[in-house]
């Protein structure tokens, strides 16, 4: 029986402004996981081009994501930091998975429905096949754990379905090629935490998102203290004071969101936050939130700006990371070709 050593893979698209949702939903987990796991953190630039991108801006955005990883505390020596397009095997395995995944599975992806909207006929084929590429990103390294925000749960489930179908469809060939069990692991999403789904500061029913046209809907990692304070103070709330218990957050999405953000920023629980602030007015709570947000994000933003001013340093990290990633990816891709019956 194959034993898959624990390995972490995750990525962020170089599109728009990196925000607090990306930070708390993904990057903070990367920083913690590097202490216990072998990790690969990717800038998923091939995902970014599923929608139109300005080439000059895209190049900057790729470096910005790498800078955000490093500025947040991800160690580029201990972990592998690289960009997806620098390792051709991602696209190679994605094609194989296009042939494994079923049209019906992709038709059920809610993110595609949201992003395509009413213009389904005019979006790229790449946007539709995006989850197959994401499955390839993860399974190319036979990664077992994927730290992501809640919005990515369905895509990880699809990656598991693809892995399962590949293992089943080619079971005989997998054994004939010297493996004594499934070839791919079924990767687990790591989603838990009070900020698994950070919502817009303007509307508690919408997720905080890079592509929201309102800059006041999100706190960007690049925001300075003044911008953070302004956005938190303008964040939508209701008229009631904060409740003392979690049950009191029901039906109050904006309050729930701010409490979750505070809890995640201080690495505590929502229960702890309500113990401290239950009964307080939002004005007082928002002051405290500004303080913890500025303390946590201020230094990350400053370090990001410093790193972005040194593109040669970032490019070097990405190049070395890509080489290390390729060393892991190529043997897996070669084995996939053998299993499929392709000649290499």
- Judged by the rule CB under 6 A, the positions of this chain that interact with ligand AQP are 12-13, 15-16, 21-22, 25-26, 148-149, 151-152, 196-198, 207-211
Q: Which two tokens stand for residue 251?
A: 């039906």
* Sheet containing strand 7-12, strands side by side: 80-83, 38-43, 7-12, 145-147, 188-190
Among positive and negative, which fits the CA dihedral 78, 79, 83, 89? positive
Q: Nearest approach, Cβ of 246 to ligand AQP (angstroms)?
A: 19
Q: Catalytic residue among 207, 231, 236, 296, which?
A: 207
Q: What gap in Å lies between CA 338 and CA 293, rounded to an integer?
A: 51
Respond yes or no: is residue 207 known to be catalytic: yes
Q: Nearest approach, Cβ of 65 to ligand AQP (angstroms)?
A: 8
Q: Which is nearer to ligand AQP, 209 or 222 (CB)?
A: 209
Q: Nearest approach, Cβ of 69 to ligand AQP (angstroms)?
A: 11
Q: Catalytic residue among 153, 165, 210, 337, which?
A: 210
Q: What gap in Å lies between CA 193 and CA 105, rounded to an integer?
A: 28
C-alpha torsion angle, residues 299, 300, 305, 308 (rounded to 10): 150
Respond yes or no: is residue 236 known to be catalytic: no
Q: What gap in Å lies between CA 258 and CA 281, rounded to an integer?
A: 13
Q: Nearest approach, Cβ of 66 to ligand AQP (angstroms)?
A: 14
Q: Which is nearer to ligand AQP, 39 or 336 (CB)?
A: 39
For 1, 32, 38, 137, the CA distances from 70, given in Å and listed in that order, are 37, 13, 16, 21
Q: What gap in Å lies between CA 14 and CA 310, rounded to an integer?
A: 18
Q: Which is nearer to ligand AQP, 38 or 151 (CB)?
A: 151
Residue 334 has phi, psi (to 5 degrees) of -60, -40
Q: Nearest approach, Cβ of 241 to ligand AQP (angstroms)?
A: 26
Q: What gap in Å lies between CA 46 and CA 340, rounded to an integer?
A: 25
Q: Catalytic residue among 115, 153, 165, 337, which?
A: 115
Q: Which is nearer to ligand AQP, 64 or 286 (CB)?
A: 64
Q: Which two tokens stand for residue 189?
A: 């999403």
Q: What gap in Å lies between CA 307 and CA 200, rounded to an integer?
A: 28
User: What is the β-pairing status of strands 38-43 and 188-190?
Assistant: unpaired
Q: Nearest approach, Cβ of 131 to ligand AQP (angstroms)?
A: 12
Q: Which is nearer to ligand AQP, 154 or 335 (CB)?
A: 154
- Where is 293: in which H helix or E strand? helix 282-308
Coil, strand or helix at 48: helix
Q: Which is nearer to ligand AQP, 25 or 185 (CB)?
A: 25
The residues assigned a catalytic role are 115, 207, 210
């Amino acid at each position: 029986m194959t034993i898959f050593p624990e390995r972490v893979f995750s990525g962020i698209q170089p599109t728009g402004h990196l925000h607090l949702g990306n930070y708390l939903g993904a990057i903070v987990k990367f920083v913690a996981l590097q202490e216990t796991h072998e990790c690969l953190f990717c800038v998923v630039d091939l995902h970014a081009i599923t929608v139109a991108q300005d080439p000059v801006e895209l190049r900057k955005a790729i470096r910005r994501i790498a800078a955000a990883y490093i500025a947040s505390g991800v160690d580029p020596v201990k972990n592998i930091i690289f960009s997806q397009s620098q390792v051709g095997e991602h696209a190679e395995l994605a094609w194989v998975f296009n042939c494994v995944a079923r049209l019906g599975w992709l038709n059920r992806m809610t993110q595609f429905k949201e992003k395509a909207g009413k213009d389904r006929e005019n979006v790229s084929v790449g946007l539709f096949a995006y989850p197959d590429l994401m499955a390839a990103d993860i399974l190319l390294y036979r990664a077992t754990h994927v730290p992501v925000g809640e919005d990515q749960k369905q895509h990880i489930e699809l990656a598991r379905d693809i892995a399962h179908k590949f293992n089943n469809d080619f079971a005989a060939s997998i054994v004939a090629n010297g493996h004594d069990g499934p070839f791919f692991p079924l990767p687990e999403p790591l989603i838990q935490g009070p900020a698994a789904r950070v919502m817009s500061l303007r509307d508690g029913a919408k997720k905080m998102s890079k592509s929201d046209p309102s800059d006041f809907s999100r706190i960007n990692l690049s925001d300075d203290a003044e911008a953070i304070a302004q956005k938190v103070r303008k964040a939508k709330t209701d008229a009631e004071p904060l409740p003392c218990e979690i049950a009191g957050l029901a039906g109050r999405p904006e309050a729930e969101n701010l409490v979750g953000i505070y809890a995640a920023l201080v690495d505590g629980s929502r229960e702890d936050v309500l113990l401290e602030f239950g009964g307080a007015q939002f004005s007082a709570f928002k002051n405290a939130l500004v303080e913890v947000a500025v303390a946590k994000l201020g230094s990350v933003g400053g370090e990001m700006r410093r790193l972005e001013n040194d593109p040669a340093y970032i490019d070097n990290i990405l190049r070395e990371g890509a080489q290390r990633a390729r060393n892991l990816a190529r043997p897996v891709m070669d084995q996939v070709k053998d299993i499929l019956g392709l000649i290499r």
